[in-house]
Structure 1
Amino acid sequence: MAHPQVLRDMALFVEVAKRKSFSQAAAALDVPISSLSRRITQFEATIGLRLLDRTTRKLVLTPYGEAYYEQALRLVEEAQRSFDELIAQARGPSGLLRIAAPPDGWAFDHLPAVVAGFMSEHEHVRVHLDLRPAVADLAAEGYDLALVTDEPREASMIARRVGRLATGVFGAPDGLACTGMPTLPEDLARHAAVVAGQTSVQASWRLSRAGETRTVTVSGAVSCNSPPLARRFALDGRGLALLPLLDAEADLRAGALVRVLPDWSGPPLPVSIVTTSRLMPAKARAFIEFAARQLGASLMPGTPEAPDASPVYALRA
């Protein structure tokens, strides 16, 4: 039977290895850095192997540390989940839930209601919502989960699809009054475009209507890395932009933007919740189930493809 101190040191090692930083791990564990470093050093001395290589600039796992981390992580996560489930059985999900999400219009419009509804059902959970343009490093930065509108690039990410965002082409009325309103997708090639999501000022837009699909190459003088910024450029008359309909709703009502080729839609943007492990605390699992129901009904209602309602989380390779 393992000594309790060994189990505690294993958990400390996992936290340091996960974040690759003594300072970040110490902050997350709320312990002094010196105490944490001393415990890891004593742990290495006990087993007779060096698990971490420390330099003034970085901390890396040794081959022994890599192998041990994979095993220890599963044990620590399983122990944490068992503890969380025990607490959840007694009083329901609890603790601080940290969520990262993109600073997009749909997030501003829909996430506050989702979080408020979730907290009304789970009074022992506190929520911190962090809007940020880039996908967070969940483990290193201490997030429980993140909402994303693109496919996770890391093979270690576990993703669940919870909704879709319909998209369309939008432009400022004054600019279109000068250049003329496009009537066919091919007309877009003769208009300036604001390219979002890549560094090139040229892109291929795929538009669909009633089973018909056309692809047109667009270009312009400006590109950016986020739909909200593309929307701002479109509002300023810098070109047409392919945007989520939810992000453009208020501007449409105000007359600041108009829908171009309203019968044609761009590819829907998938909205997913990502985590780093299938072994999640009760607070995270409860939020994912709640958000899947709420967002699936509100982001793109009435579409043939329903969001994934399965509780099984698929590993994206």
Structure 2
Amino acid sequence: MRIEDLKLFMLVAKLGSFTAAADALNLPRSNISRRINDLESALQGKLFTRTTRRLTLTPIGQGYLTSLQEIIPGLEHANDSIRTQNQNPTGKIKIGLLTESDILIHWVLQDFLTRYPNISIETHLSNLGYYDIMNYGLDMAIHVGPISDTSFIARPIASFIRKLYASPDYIARYGAPRSLEDLHQHNLIMLRWPSGQLENLWRFKQAEISIESRLISNNSNYIRHAVFQGAGIALLPEIIAHKHVAEGELVEVLPAYEMQLENIWLVYPSRTGQSFASRLLTEYLLEQIPMIK
């Protein structure tokens, strides 16, 4: 039996369905089902109990999974050692990017691919950060905001501040607020974090204000475009907005006010579970992203 089929079994067990595993690997569901059936035939035992609604591990399957979780990392480490000795690392990496982080790290990923021509990268664009690691079988993800699951490793790779911005057209129509209290008279655009929490309390270094909004989104990219189109005032990362201010496409509102520094995290399940290629990319991102200005 092939190690790829053993890792496929582990992925199906982790995601809980053939369909989810097929989506994560971009393969037909029939391919996943056939390979699991072949594995069960080779083992002469059922690994999963299948119903129309659920897919669960059998006792045999659970024991097999536990054994593989100890065996596979060691086997991959041995394989990685050979690849390292050959100075020719190979592999595929799936990384989750936030809807604006792709702007910041695109060139880092391109440089990495140039350095390692036998490694390929697939990007998964989402606003959910590390929440998508388990949903889509990602190797790692860029995340902003709190991390409640302590089973993940989270390493800070950059930081940023958010400030208030509007379009010149919006300011021309409604005027510019002169104080935080004036914001109550304006159209404000509000973010809903991946955790589901609504950001209805804007905490600045100098003060905080409770706000209401008729336009809410869980997608920061949508909020940015809404601001460009004159829909209202919103908090945007200064690292993204500053060039648009310089080009006259955005106006900084109440420039004296800025949010507390926020971290951008690189999150992954565990170092021992990472492939050699994933570890290379992890270290490369940690080294290169802080250099981006």
Deviation at 1:120, TM superposition (A): 2.7
Matched, 1:170 2:162: no
Local SS of the residue matching 2:36: helix
User: Any unmatched runs of 5+ in structure 1?
Assistant: 300-317
Q: Of residues 128, 131, 149 in structure 2, which corresponds to 1:134?
A: 128
Structure-to-structure mapping, 1:208-219, within 5 angstroms = 208=205, 213-219=206-212
Partner of 1:206: 203
Structure-to-structure mapping, 1:214-225, within 5 angstroms = 214-225=207-218
Q: Residues 148, 200 of structure 1: CA spacing in aligned structure 2 closer, same or farther, 3 A cutoff? A: closer
Deviation at 1:140, TM superposition (A): 5.2
Structure-to-structure mapping, 1:15-26, within 5 angstroms = 15-22=11-18
Q: TM-score, normalised by structure 2?
A: 0.83
> Which has the larger strand fraction?
1
Q: Which amino acid aligns with 1:287?
A: L
Q: Residues 243, 6 of structure 1: CA spacing in aligned structure 2 closer, same or farther, 3 A cutoff? A: closer
Partner of 1:75: 71
Local SS of the residue matching 1:60: strand
Q: Which amino acid aligns with 2:254?
A: L
Deviation at 1:115, TM superposition (A): 0.9
Deviation at 1:66, TM superposition (A): 4.0
Q: Which amino acid aligns with 2:192?
A: G
Partner of 1:233: 226
Structure-to-structure mapping, 1:1-317, within 5 angstroms = 11=7, 13-22=9-18, 28=25, 33-43=33-43, 45=45, 51-62=47-58, 65-66=61-62, 68-104=64-100, 106-108=101-103, 110-135=104-129, 137-139=132-134, 141-197=136-192, 203-208=200-205, 213-279=206-272, 280-298=274-292
Q: Which amino acid aligns with 2:91?
A: G
Q: Which amino acid aligns with 1:36?
A: I
Q: Residues 125, 202 of structure 1: CA spacing in aligned structure 2 closer, same or farther, 3 A cutoff? A: closer
Q: Which amino acid aligns with 2:215?
A: V
Say how many residue pairs are matched: 285
Q: Which amino acid aligns with 1:235?
A: F
Cα pair 2:99 2:220 within 8 Å, conserved = no
Q: TM-score, normalised by structure 1?
A: 0.77
Q: Which amino acid aligns with 1:241?
A: A
Deviation at 1:242, TM superposition (A): 0.6
Q: Which amino acid aligns with 2:234?
A: A
Q: Deviations over 1:151-190 (max 9, x none)?
A: 3444432221111122111012232244432333343333
Deviation at 1:71, TM superposition (A): 4.1
CA distance in 2 between partners of 1:232 and 1:8 (Å): 42
Q: Residues 35, 94 of structure 1: CA spacing in aligned structure 2 closer, same or farther, 3 A cutoff? A: closer
What is the aligned-residue identity percentage? 24
Local SS of the residue matching 1:219: coil
Deviation at 1:230, TM superposition (A): 1.2
Q: Which amino acid aligns with 1:206?
A: R
Q: Which amino acid aligns with 2:170?
A: G
